Structure 1
Amino acid sequence: MTEPPQTGEQVAVEEPRQRLHPLSPLLHGANSLVVIVAALSWQTLGRVGVGWYAGMVAVLLLGAVVLSLVSWYNTGYHVVGRELRIHEGLLWRRTRAIPLERLQSVEVVRPLLAQLTGLAELRLEVVGGGKTEAPLAYVAVADAVALRERLLGLAARTPAPAQPGAEPAEVGPPVEPTRRHLVSVVNRDLLVSQLLTPQAMLLPFGVAFVVVQFLSEGSWSFIAVASTLTAMAGVLLQPLRRVLADWSFQLARDDAGLRVRHGLLETRAQTVPLDRLQAVGATWPLLWRMKGWLRLRLEVAGFSTDADASQRADQLLPVGDLPTAQMIMAEVLPGVDLRVALPPPPRRARWVHPLAQPVLGAGLTDRVFAVRHGLLTRQLVVVPYARIQSVRVVQGPVQRRLRLATVHADTAGGAGAAALDRDLAEAWALAAELTTRARTARGAG
């Protein structure tokens, strides 16, 4: 006879594995087409001819689709207790178990082909991850949204210890969180802000260089024209990547955290729990300051750092004025003012930073450690005391002669903040105070 489970014991019911959408292999194959054409290059087309080139592309594309089909057939995922398990592999089976306690954010990404087919990719960011931990590409949009909400709900739920003799609590249906809209960035401002960047201002010179190079070759062959158009596209598209990535940027707030949505050709919808926030950075580019604009970014442990700036999901405000940024800061870190006064380092720090010494600053407020740096591009970084993992005092050879030191406040998986070139005695006192406040804040939390 099978003994019944003891009172209060929780038994995890393993649900059946779910597969990715059947169209996933075709989308992966379409993505591989661009890589295949780029790998073969225009020079290969000129050497083998159009017929052989098309045949090589077709064979490689067919192989990519077959591999994607095999991968899709052997890939499955399901939630077991408080873990997301992903099974994959044909010859070498692999199972990844992702504890939801480590989950930092879940992002629903929809590239252009996925938008046309009604699919989406689910990307998970976990603590200490250098890249996206478990991309599920592709699933239906409704399934992706439902799975995101379920994972975030499980990650936020802390199971209470079972009391002897107590019945397990019934879990009711999930409550729809109340969402408050915060910011919608005007696309016109986004375009103007990108025109006020060095990359956009140097764009005519880049185009002129490509045109002059083409004319100096004196060849109007198909290969020469195709190579020139490819180079021209690379020059023109680079400044547009940020605009396309941040198009129709919207920020909202609900019980689960921040809701960020943006993108034109590739839409991204992300939820970031505020209790996972490590730091907030504000940036004032030189040409933006005449319009009173700035950019806000957030730092969350687990965000992938292998992507370039236009692909990283760390935007809090791509462009906006100071009142808008202050309103967002009141939601993210209540009581923190972006106009905080920060004392500069001693005047002898001019030997290390001849022009930027008056701009540098560092100080402590009631809730955060704040540092300011940057001459042409002004930057402010604020780190809550509870997020500081370690404090370091660093001295270089020049700093030792000038009796200066830099104080670093490190966060989990992030850059943290650094008070540059402080007086040596002040640096050690600052480090001691940071350590005390961080320990007190973590204990209070």
Structure 2
Amino acid sequence: MAWPAGVPEGGEPRQRLHPLSPALHGAKSLVVVIAGLSWSTLSRVGFGWFAAMVAVLALGATVLALVSWYNTGYHVVGRELRVHEGLLWRRTRAIPLERLQAVEVVRPLLAQLTGLAELRLEVVGGGKTEAPLAYLTVADAAALRARLLALAAGAGAVPATPEPEAVPGAAPAPAATGRPLHAVRNKDLLVSQLLTPQAFLLPFGVAFVLAQFFSEGSTSFIAVASTLTAMAGVLLQPIRRVLDDWAFRIARDDEVLRIRNGLLETRAQTVPLNRVQTVGVTWPLLWRVKGWLRLRLEVAGYSAGESDDRNRPDRLLPVGDLPTGESIVTEVLPGVRLAALPLTPPPPRARWLNPLSRARLGAVLTDEVFAVRSGLLTRQVTLVPYARIQSVRLVQGPVQRRLGLATVHADTAGGAGAAAQDRDLAEARTLAAELTARAHTARLGT
């Protein structure tokens, strides 16, 4: 929907969000309002006054959402996305597209029911998601995503063909564009979340609580409700992961990854391969019985910007076996063989600092990446391409100085990077110098 105030700087009219956006924001506000009004309020004022209070507050929230929508617009100027918003205090955000790391098309449940979508941008050094444009039609969101990615890559402003999206009541959408890499079976996803400490220990916790109730005769409503609330809290994280990773599919389209996942809230994520900072491989303790692992990628702006793990769209493979993990890692980091990494442990004297996990620590410089292994119960391997290393640090604590050890850190843009723990001091100095040289050479070659 075009902005009515003519054509601004840049030769392109500002665009408004979809006209249904205020209604969706108002519906979300209504849920918050009802949740905020306690049952004690209902008992004091009665149902009629309670409904009137909810209606007035919901109407106010809808009016504010409508005013916000009327004064919000966006357009592309050169190689920037500019977002204009505000009524009393006008604000314009200019987002340089060369800093663009990833673009997501997210469809919460209400958006799915109305055929709309939300566009989220992740940029280098962003403290949170930039310019969440909520809401656009699915076609507009896909076209804008393709255009922004093309501009970020310097390929011009011609948008790619939008990917088809599923709309409730319509025929199933075709498969995602690009070459399919893997589709996670929902059965494996469910089993993987049953093999978590929360689900594994839940029956023991329930049995203990029930034994306490029956032994003490405490079966009041409050006690039962508290128990059910505690059980729901324990199971919340596995349930969220199942909902978030449902129907997980990953494909490669030239030099970008296309990732789709979600049940109640669907996500269509596009990540340029040259923006991947690190790849993390995790073997949870209970998963090792099935030979499963999990892959995560680090894109600048995600890990540091989102405190809630489920809001970080960094999933590369929620669950899979070693051959599947190796094939996906090879797509992201060509030449890296996950099962053949010649990782070497720190010297034996490092056992004074890591008495149980020393044998599980390891580090190696391959031709393609800096690889680090850590973890005792949950084993992890972090892979860092040399071109993504921003700085190299050699750190010694007081105990490490006495033992002649040091830790070498390879820092990436906006992320944790990787650290080779408790290496021999002479080896650590050589490792830091070699990392610095390889990072410099790799950046010159990109």
Superposition TM-score, scaled by structure 1 size: 0.88
Q: Which residue of 1 aligns with 2:192?
A: 193
Identity of aligned residues (%): 76
User: How far does residue 46 in structure 1 lie from its aligned partner after superposition?
Assistant: 4.5
Q: Which residue of 1 aligns with 2:240?
A: 241
Q: Does 1:143 align with 2:140?
A: yes
Q: Which residue of 1 aligns with 2:24?
A: 27
Alignment of 1:127-206 (within 5 A): 127-157=124-154, 174=160, 179-204=178-203
Alignment of 1:317-332 (within 5 A): 317-332=317-332
Structure 1 residues 53, 174: CA separation in 2 closer, same or farther (over 3 Å shift)? Answer: closer
Structure 1 residues 328, 22: CA separation in 2 closer, same or farther (over 3 Å shift)? Answer: same
Q: Which residue of 1 aligns with 2:357?
A: 356
* Inter-partner Cα distance in structure 1 for 2:67 and 2:248: 37
* Inter-partner Cα distance in structure 1 for 2:25 and 2:158: 38
Contact residue 346 and residue 358 of structure 2 kept, 8 A = yes
Contact residue 362 and residue 420 of structure 2 kept, 8 A = yes
- Three-state SS of the structure 2 residue aligned to 1:134 is strand
- Three-state SS of the structure 1 residue aligned to 2:35 is helix
Alignment of 1:94-113 (within 5 A): 94-113=91-110
Structure 1 residues 74, 390: CA separation in 2 closer, same or farther (over 3 Å shift)? Answer: same
* Inter-partner Cα distance in structure 2 for 1:114 and 1:270: 17
Structure 1 residues 438, 92: CA separation in 2 closer, same or farther (over 3 Å shift)? Answer: same
Q: Which string of whole-angstrom CA distances, capped at 9 and with x for unpartnered residues, describes residues 193-242 of structure 1?
A: 0110112123335656887899977655xx99877766654444332000
Contact residue 407 and residue 428 of structure 2 kept, 8 A = yes
Structure 1 residues 418, 90: CA separation in 2 closer, same or farther (over 3 Å shift)? Answer: same
Using CA pairs under 8 Å that are at least 6 residues apart, name the structure with larger relative contact order, 1 or 2.
1
* Inter-partner Cα distance in structure 1 for 2:64 and 2:208: 41
User: How far does residue 401 in structure 1 lie from its aligned partner after superposition?
Assistant: 1.6
Shifted more, 316-325 versus 178-187: the winner is: 178-187
Q: Which string of whole-angstrom CA distances, capped at 9 and with x for unpartnered residues, describes residues 330-388 of structure 1?
A: 11101111121211001111111110000000110001100000000000001011110
User: How far does residue 81 in structure 1 lie from its aligned partner after superposition?
Assistant: 1.4
Structure 1 residues 326, 93: CA separation in 2 closer, same or farther (over 3 Å shift)? Answer: same
* Inter-partner Cα distance in structure 1 for 2:254 and 2:435: 30
Q: Does 1:80 align with 2:81?
A: no
User: How far does residue 274 in structure 1 lie from its aligned partner after superposition?
Assistant: 0.5
Shifted more, 309-318 versus 52-61: the winner is: 52-61
Q: Which residue of 2 aligns with 1:345?
A: 346
Q: Which residue of 1 aligns with 2:251?
A: 252
User: How far does residue 43 in structure 1 lie from its aligned partner after superposition?
Assistant: 4.3
- Three-state SS of the structure 2 residue aligned to 1:157 is coil
Q: Which string of whole-angstrom CA distances, capped at 9 and with x for unpartnered residues, describes residues 55-106 of structure 1?
A: 3332222221111111011001111111111100000000111111111111
* Inter-partner Cα distance in structure 2 for 1:18 and 1:173: 16
* Inter-partner Cα distance in structure 2 for 1:235 and 1:211: 16
* Inter-partner Cα distance in structure 2 for 1:237 and 1:184: 24
Q: Which residue of 1 aligns with 2:261?
A: 262
Q: Which residue of 2 aligns with 1:275?
A: 274
Contact residue 101 and residue 123 of structure 2 kept, 8 A = yes
User: Where do 5+ consecutive residues of structure 1 fail to align?
Assistant: 1-11, 160-170
- Three-state SS of the structure 2 residue aligned to 1:430 is helix
* Inter-partner Cα distance in structure 2 for 1:115 and 1:176: 17
* Inter-partner Cα distance in structure 1 for 2:351 and 2:20: 61
Contact residue 150 and residue 158 of structure 2 kept, 8 A = no
Shifted more, 50-59 versus 315-324: the winner is: 50-59
Letter in 1 for 2:267: R
* Off by >6 Å, runs of 4+ in structure 1: 175-178, 208-217, 223-229
Structure 1 residues 355, 297: CA separation in 2 closer, same or farther (over 3 Å shift)? Answer: same
Q: Which residue of 2 aligns with 1:407?
A: 408
Q: Which residue of 1 aligns with 2:295?
A: 296
Q: Which residue of 1 aligns with 2:62?
A: 65
Shifted more, 229-238 versus 135-144: the winner is: 229-238
- Three-state SS of the structure 1 residue aligned to 2:402 is helix
- Three-state SS of the structure 1 residue aligned to 2:401 is helix
* Inter-partner Cα distance in structure 2 for 1:444 and 1:307: 34
Q: Does 1:311 align with 2:308?
A: no
Contact residue 207 and residue 235 of structure 1 kept, 8 A = no
Q: Which residue of 2 aligns with 1:15?
A: 12
Contact residue 256 and residue 271 of structure 1 kept, 8 A = no
* Inter-partner Cα distance in structure 1 for 2:86 and 2:213: 47
User: How far does residue 173 in structure 1 lie from its aligned partner after superposition?
Assistant: 7.6
* Inter-partner Cα distance in structure 2 for 1:53 and 1:214: 36
Matched residues, number? 422
Superposition TM-score, scaled by structure 2 size: 0.88
Q: Which residue of 2 aligns with 1:374?
A: 375
* Inter-partner Cα distance in structure 2 for 1:156 and 1:238: 36
- Three-state SS of the structure 1 residue aligned to 2:16 is coil
- Three-state SS of the structure 2 residue aligned to 1:310 is helix
- Three-state SS of the structure 2 residue aligned to 1:202 is helix
Structure 1 residues 210, 148: CA separation in 2 closer, same or farther (over 3 Å shift)? Answer: farther
Contact residue 362 and residue 373 of structure 2 kept, 8 A = yes
* Inter-partner Cα distance in structure 2 for 1:229 and 1:27: 31
Structure 1 residues 46, 420: CA separation in 2 closer, same or farther (over 3 Å shift)? Answer: farther
* Inter-partner Cα distance in structure 1 for 2:88 and 2:129: 24
Contact residue 10 and residue 76 of structure 2 kept, 8 A = no
* Inter-partner Cα distance in structure 1 for 2:390 and 2:143: 34
